[in-house]
Amino acid sequence: MRHFRCTACGKCCVGWLPLTLKDALLHAGRFPLAVVWTPVRQAAKDFAATERLGFTFRTPDKKTVAVRVCPTAYIPPTMACPALTADNLCAIHGAKPLRCKTMPFFPYRDEGHQADLLVPRPGWDCDVSPSAPSVYDGKTIVDRTDFDAERAELLAQAPLIRPYAQRLMETAPAMASGLAKALLKPGGGHVAVSFASLLRHLPNEDRSRIAARQIGALTEASHRLGTESSWAEYRRNYQDWAWEMERLT
């Protein structure tokens, strides 16, 4: 039996925040968004779950690769979430994304592959002592309400994500080579593309309104970066992605 309690230290509220598509659209005025593509090898234990929620492709050397395609609040790894208050609380607690509610579990993985996520990273103040609630029994999540809700959203959005991803693979040859390079990175790599590339494929959304809100979030995020040189790539991406969003307004 494994124990876990969030003490609301706010230390994990930094860097990338993977979102369901619904949460990304809901919070488009708050988070600078990207779509992060993460390739997973066929031999990896989360291949089947990734295939179910994302898509697969064949590399030139005939290997099958599954790809997680994840709308993401694209925040530099040491920068706080824009919803984190000065006293380390969540300003949108009542409406926070499903990803934050399900922490530390991660439904892009099978339920049985969650144990290592219960080990707090250095500096995190999660309570994993025996006095904290029992959250994981063997390979089963004890209270699975949030996990199931996030998994259900990911399953529901897969029929929208998959044709978008396949279309981008067909029209942007750099995606296949970028994913192949990402596969070679120790610990796993990724390819990040503009959220506009996905928004364009959502015919039932008010694209102009969402794009206008996203331009505000990207501009605000760019200001927060200041002139810090190590974040030059984020600054450049925010500017490029705001320009792509302009074309949707």
Judged by the rule CB under 6 A, the positions of this chain that interact with ligand SF4 are 6-13, 17, 81, 83-84, 90, 92, 96-97, 100, 103, 120, 124-126
Cis upstream peptide for 60 (omega within 30°): no
Among 116, 105, 108, 109, residue whose Cα is nearest residue 142: 105
Of residues 7 and 239, the one with the C-beta less far from ligand SF4? 7
Of residues 31 and 231, the one with the C-beta less far from ligand SF4? 31
Q: If you count DSSP H runs as helices and E runs as strands, how many of each does the chain have, helices first?
A: 8, 8
Distance CA(70)–CA(67), nearest Å, equals 9
Among 229, 224, 238, residue whose Cα is nearest residue 14: 224
Phi-psi region at 37: left, alpha or beta (left = phi > 0; alpha = psi -120 to 50): beta
Minimum CB separation of residue 76 from ligand SF4 in Å reads: 14
Minimum CB separation of residue 79 from ligand SF4 in Å reads: 11
Of residues 26 and 160, the one with the C-beta less far from ligand SF4? 26
Of residues 26 and 84, the one with the C-beta less far from ligand SF4? 84
Minimum CB separation of residue 25 from ligand SF4 in Å reads: 15
Minimum CB separation of residue 75 from ligand SF4 in Å reads: 9
